């Protein structure tokens, strides 16, 4: 369609750049287009609106791509195009115009910058898959994300931007908007924010929020969570929240040059490094680290924690990379579990409280890369319906840390066993849950307290990875899915 439209204009103007500008001006919605004319293969015209597109510059030629990681083999010198930009590239030159105000474009200057990304960061190295690499990179990814906290020895709002302190002082509630795995991170954060800082918090799926008529409180800070920072629904939901009256917004994002980072008043960059596997892993746990930090900063500001508790939180954050490293040691046991899942068609994931979103994340991981139908339930909901599904063919994964809900969870697990369901329990080191017929247990190396959702994620990521591997699925590029969902 777009090709025909450009060719129609080309028939009149005879100039490819003009034809792309005129065609782009007629397009509605998000696009990133790259066009080459048969007669002039030495020239590329690239245009973007709502979808990411950048230029890569080098002595040996100029390039264009939707993501910097695609160009690291050839250059680290990048130009990020903005909404309505049209770029013309030859091997030794480029220029950019913008068509927002003038259909044929007005010349603009865009900053050339050297990306922090390195070639190694996007290479597999000794790993078989990017997902495996990214799971095992989590200790370093978390350490990098929290580096500023470790060096500062205190929780400062400035970690979220220079304006953050004055915005946070006025904040009376939090609204989190996100999709998929990032939405799960938001749900965990809701528990933390309310419990630690006493701030009311709600979490919404961005694609739903943007189409309803929510009542906005201007002092409720809108937090957009996104690994890519290019998810169309999240970007649109944040804009919509502003139009409904929310005064301030904050991005928790992993890509510094993304649209989300440019769109919000405040920002926190998780420093997970490029995540290439479609299934999000290190981006999720670094989002959680960032969100725990946000809860802790609000708690300090609102004086809901003492100096001693603040120090305990910082110590806990500092210990996280080591704790994750230890959690990764359970891989051999997970490989054994995976053998019992690879031939199954369905699986149930159970959790309670702050671990219910972790069960949701475990189910999402399993379904997206192994194509096994997986559902997550808040364990207390079992008896309201899903128990009917449980029989000996149904593996049931339970996230069972030593928290205040453990006794309740134990009786939910008995309900499963009584129907013949096979239980796969992820428990803390000192858990009172015992292995028995039909009850398999993996114990994490440590009892992680309030950081437990982060640690309990690791076995679920490994489980999804090894089940998919045993099924021979394309772990990094699951069918029908894209890494960044830049369309509605
Ligand atoms: C996670 O494994 C998914 N591939 C997907 O749910 C993802 O988290 C979602 O599309 C949101 O992406 P974002 O974090 O880049 O906004």
Q: Per residue in 13-33, pLDDT tens? A: 889 999 999 999 999 888 899
Indicate whether 145 and 284 sit together in one domain: yes
**Structural domains of the chain, count:** 3
Tell me, in angstroms, the distance from the centre of ligand 1 to residue 256's CA. 17
**Per-residue pLDDT at 171:** 98
Indicate whether 152 and 286 sit together in one domain: yes
Q: What percent of the chain has pLDDT over 70?
A: 100
Residue 482 within any structural domain of the chain: no
Mutate to test the pocket of ligand 1, among 69, 181, 254, 286 (most ligand atoms within 8 A of CB): 181
Q: Produce one character per residue of 9-46: b if its CB has 16 or more CB atoms within 10 Å, e if not.
A: bbeeeeebbbbbbbbbbeeeebbbbbbebeeeeebbbb
Mean pLDDT, residues 388-406 taken together: 91
**Per-residue pLDDT at 487:** 81
**Per-residue pLDDT at 277:** 93
pLDDT over 90 at 152, yes or no: no
Burial class (CB in 10 A: 0-12, 13-18, 19+), 343: exposed
**Per-residue pLDDT at 220:** 98
Residue 370 makes CB contacts below 8 A (sequence gap 6+) with 341, 342, 464, 467, 468, 471, 473
Indicate whether 284 and 357 sit together in one domain: no
Of 115-119, 163-167, 203-207, 382-386, give the lowest mean pLDDT range.
115-119
Residue 318 within any structural domain of the chain: no
Residue 258 Cβ < 6 Å to ligand 1 = no
Atom of ligand 1 nearest to the CA of 481: 4
Q: Rg for the chain (alpha carbons), in Å?
A: 24
Indicate whether 215 and 353 sit together in one domain: no
Residue 228 Cβ < 6 Å to ligand 1 = yes
Indicate whether 136 and 35 sit together in one domain: no
Indicate whether 36 and 176 sit together in one domain: no
Mean pLDDT, residues 447-475 taken together: 95
**Per-residue pLDDT at 107:** 93
Residue 180 Cβ < 6 Å to ligand 1 = yes
Residue 487 within any structural domain of the chain: no
Mean pLDDT, residues 446-474 taken together: 94
Residue 431 Cβ < 6 Å to ligand 1 = no
Indicate whether 140 and 274 sit together in one domain: yes
Residue 235 within any structural domain of the chain: yes
β-partners of residue 90 are 93
Residue 322 within any structural domain of the chain: no
Mean pLDDT, residues 207-231 taken together: 96
Mean pLDDT, residues 309-314 taken together: 91
Structure-model confidence comparison of residues 282 and 311, the more confident one: 282
Confirm if 4 and 26 have CB atoms less than 8 A apart: no
Residue 425 within any structural domain of the chain: yes
Distance of CA 209 to the CA centre of its chain: 18
Confirm if 246 and 218 have CB atoms less than 8 A apart: yes
Where residue 167 falls among pLDDT bands split at 50, 70, 90? very high
Mean pLDDT, residues 144-151 taken together: 88
Domain end among 120, 140, 158: 120
Indicate whether 114 and 236 sit together in one domain: no
**Per-residue pLDDT at 403:** 86
Residue range(s) defining the domain that contains residue 456? 329-471
pTM for this predicted structure: 0.92
Indicate whether 201 and 348 sit together in one domain: no
Residue 460 Cβ < 6 Å to ligand 1 = no
Burial class (CB in 10 A: 0-12, 13-18, 19+), 325: middle
Mean of pLDDT over the chain: 93
pLDDT over 80 at 154, yes or no: no
Indicate whether 221 and 333 sit together in one domain: no
Q: Whose CA is nearest to atom 4 of ligand 1?
A: 279
**Per-residue pLDDT at 183:** 98
Residue 486 Cβ < 6 Å to ligand 1 = no
pLDDT over 80 at 153, yes or no: no
Residue 278 makes CB contacts below 8 A (sequence gap 6+) with 368, 369, 476, 477, 478, 481, 482, 483
Strand 266-269 to 373-378 pairing: unpaired
Indicate whether 84 and 159 sit together in one domain: no
Checking phi first, is residue 409 left (phi over 0); if not, alpha (psi -120 to 50) or beta? alpha
pLDDT over 80 at 460, yes or no: yes
258-280: pLDDT as tens digits: 999 999 999 999 999 999 999 99
Residue 278 Cβ < 6 Å to ligand 1 = yes
DSSP string over 173-200:
EEEEEE-HHHHHHHHHHHHHIIIII---
Q: What percent of the chain has pLDDT over 90?
A: 77
Mean pLDDT, residues 91-100 taken together: 94
Where residue 407 falls among pLDDT bands split at 50, 70, 90? confident
Atom of ligand 1 nearest to the CA of 365: 2
170-191: pLDDT as tens digits: 999 999 999 999 999 999 999 9
Atom of ligand 1 nearest to the CA of 484: 15
CATH code of 301's domain = 3.40.50.10490
Q: Which two tokens stand for residue 353?
A: 């409280």
Residue 244 makes CB contacts below 8 A (sequence gap 6+) with 214, 215, 216
Residue 286 Cβ < 6 Å to ligand 1 = no
Indicate whether 297 and 400 sit together in one domain: no
């Amino acid at each position: 369609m777009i090709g025909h439209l450009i060719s129609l204009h080309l028939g009149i103007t005879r100039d490819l750049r003009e034809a792309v500008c005129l065609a782009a001006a007629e397009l509605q919605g998000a696009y990133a287009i790259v066009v080459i004319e048969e007669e002039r293969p030495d020239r590329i015209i690239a245009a973007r609106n709502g979808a990411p597109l950048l230029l890569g510059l080098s002595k040996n030629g100029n390039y264009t791509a939707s993501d910097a990681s695609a160009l690291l083999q050839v250059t680290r010198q990048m130009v990020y195009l903005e909404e309505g930009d049209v770029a013309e590239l030859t091997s030794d030159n480029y220029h950019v115009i913008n068509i927002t105000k003038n259909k044929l474009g007005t010349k603009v200057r865009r900053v050339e910058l050297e990306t922090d990304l390195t070639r190694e960061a996007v290479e597999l190295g000794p790993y078989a898959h990017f997902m495996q690499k990214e799971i095992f990179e989590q200790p370093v990814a978390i350490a990098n994300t929290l580096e500023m906290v470790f060096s500062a020895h205190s929780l400062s709002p400035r970690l979220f931007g220079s304006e953050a302190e004055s915005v946070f002082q006025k904040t009376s509630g939090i609204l989190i908007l996100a999709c998929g795995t990032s939405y799960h991170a938001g749900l965990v954060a809701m528990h933390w924010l309310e419990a630690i800082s006493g701030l009311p918090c709600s979490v919404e799926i961005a694609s739903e929020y943007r189409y309803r008529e929510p009542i906005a409180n201007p002092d409720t800070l809108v937090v957009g969570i996104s690994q890519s920072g290019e998810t169309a629904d999240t970007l649109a939901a944040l804009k919509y929240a502003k139009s409904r009256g929310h005064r301030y917004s904050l991005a928790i994002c992993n890509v510094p040059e993304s649209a989300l980072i440019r769109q919000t008043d405040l920002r926190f960059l998780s420093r997970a490094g490029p995540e290439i596997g479609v299934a999000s892993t290190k981006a999720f746990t670094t989002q959680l680290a960032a969100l725990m930090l946000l809860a802790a900063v609000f708690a300090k500001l609102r004086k809901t924690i003492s100096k001693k508790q603040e120090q305990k939180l910082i110590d806990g954050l500092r210990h996280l990379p080591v704790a994750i490293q230890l959690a990764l040691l359970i891989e051999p046991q997970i490989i054994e579990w995976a053998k019992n899942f690879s031939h199954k068609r369905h699986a149930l994931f159970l959790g309670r409280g702050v671990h219910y979103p972790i069960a949701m994340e475990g189910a999402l991981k399993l379904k997206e890369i192994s194509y096994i139908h997986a559902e997550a339930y808040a364990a207390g909901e079992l008896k309201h319906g899903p128990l009917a599904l449980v029989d000996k063919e149904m593996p049931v994964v339970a996230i069972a840390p030593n928290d205040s809900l453990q006794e309740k969870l134990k009786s939910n697990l008995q309900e499963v066993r009584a129907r013949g369901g096979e239980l796969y329990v992820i428990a803390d080191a000192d858990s009172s849950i015992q292995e028995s017929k039909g009850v398999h247990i993996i114990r994490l190396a440590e009892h992680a307290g309030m950081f437990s959702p982060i640690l309990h994620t690791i076995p679920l990521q490994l489980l999804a990875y090894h089940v998919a591997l045993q099924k021979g699925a394309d772990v990094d590029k699951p069918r029908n899915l894209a890494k960044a969902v830049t369309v509605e």
